[in-house]
Amino acid sequence: MVALSICMPVYNVGRYLNQCLESISQQTFRDFEVIMVDNGSTDNSFEICQEYVFRDSRFKLYHQSNFGVATARNTCLKHMYGEFVA
């Protein structure tokens, strides 16, 4: 179990995603997991997320059709194992 699970719904944010994920991966606090749910992106968001999954085992990626952000958050919750959720 990790201390912190970070929920990250993703939808067509390829332009900003590298900066966001890089910022998370560079934190000094290391006991976390990032659950990314690609919500049917039509840009390169899914591929960017895949890069981080391959580089860092704390990043996990799930893909679903675009059912909205609430469903993406619920998908995150199903896959989280942290003591705390963000």
Q: For residue 74, give the CATH number of its domain.
A: 3.90.550.10
Q: What is the structure's pLDDT at 14?
A: 96
Q: Using CB atoms within 10 A of its CB, is residue 63 exposed (0-12), middle (13-18) or buried (19+)?
A: middle
Distance CA 63, CA 22 (A): 20
Q: Determine the Cα–Cα distance for residues 80 and 1; give it in Å rounded to an integer.
A: 9
Q: What is the mean pLDDT of each run of 10 residues along the chain (86 residues)?
A: 96 97 97 97 98 97 95 96 95
Q: What are the structure tokens assigned to 6, written together?
A: 């970070």
Structural domains counted in the chain = 1
Backbone angles phi, psi at 45, to 5 degrees: -60, -45
Structural domain of 75 = 4-85
At 79, which helix (H) or strand (E)? Answer: helix 69-79
Q: What is the pLDDT of residue 79?
A: 97
